Structure 1
Amino acid sequence: MSVNPKKHSFFYRNGLSIVFLSLFMVTLVAQAYSGWKQHNQELQDHQAQEIGLGTYLQSGHFISATFENFESEFLQMALYVLLTVGLRQIGSAESKSLDEKEEVDRAPVTGKDAPWPVRKGGWVLKIYSNSLSIVFFLLFFISWGLHLYGSWQDHNVEQVLKHEPKDTVLQFLAQPTFWFETFQNWQSEFLSVCSIVFLTIYLRQKGSPESKPVDAPHLETGK
């Protein structure tokens, strides 16, 4: 199908990305500012010197809080993309059909408008065919590593404030703090995915691609 993007405005063509990216930036700035204030309050409580916003943005407190959330989101999306290849949920708008092959299952066909990896073929096409889940998992592992680094650094700041020795990263991993932060985020993401998979069986939102048509039977699977 040919696409003529010039017939629509830039915002109309990219509105979903623009709105969510804007919301992300606004809330990230709000998180940074409020986290800075909170962290300085904690430093005051321990009679320690406050830090500037620029220093805070490089601190373990900010890095840990930021990538703790990124990590769980990327894990959620990676598993969702991968598991929906083979698993089904009868009646869900988020599931492929129980019996029929769908458009996403067909073998890629080369053509002048096909992406370069499709025209290239071979191992390049193999990687491209799984690139969405690969990138989400890569982003997850990077975020997990930065969450660990930030949480460890923040933990050692607390150790210094309490006049206790710093811990190595292995000593920190043996403690429950990091794992508590990790699992409380993971479980919330798994619950949110389960919610949209199940609720789209019975509930509708007219006009949304995440919903079945309003008049679709409950046990009709997919969109």
Structure 2
Amino acid sequence: MSSIEIRHIVFDIGRVLIHYDPHIPFARLIPDEAERNWFFANVCTHDWNLEQDRGRRWEDAEALLIEAHPDRVEQIRAFRKHWHEMVSPAYVESVAILETLISQGRDVTMLTNFAADTFKEARKMYPFLDKPRGVTVSGEIGLIKPDLAIYEKHSRDFGLSPAHTLFIDDAPANVEGARMAGWNAVLFTGAEKLKSDLAAHGIAL
């Protein structure tokens, strides 16, 4: 067990508390798997979507792709239009862990790469996102994980002691970014592993 007292617990959101998979609506919109994979590799790519997480407006993002792929207008606009389908369901067991930690009186916040407008929608879809003490949303501040600056800003804004902070994220690069910021961090692979990781840091549920 770690000898460091954990006073602050910071959750990522996507693929930790709620699911994220753009294939969910696009399996219907582009039924051919090979064509769908091409579309995500060449049109609505991960890097393109990440810029919305950094703060780029959807209108500008769509215009950029439509200029390059005028034959794909409807499918490009469908990414934002059907976004709500991509973020379902919530991970019930992870949410239960979050809520248990809060009910124990622990200091829980969230740090997420998320576009500002879609996060507002996510809050309406999932009221538990309002239960932690607060959240840093990348699209609202123009910084994204794993940039060191976003961890430092979260620490400052919420008065965290980095050495006494535990971060939970599903992306290895984001976990490493947190460690570079002086935080403790664990890679999320499922609720049972998270429970054991919390126990290893002296946090019993």
Above 0.5 in TM-score? no
What TM-score comes out, normalization by structure 2 length? 0.25
Greater percentage in helix: 1
What TM-score comes out, normalization by structure 1 length? 0.24
Greater gyration radius:
1
Greater percentage in strand: 2
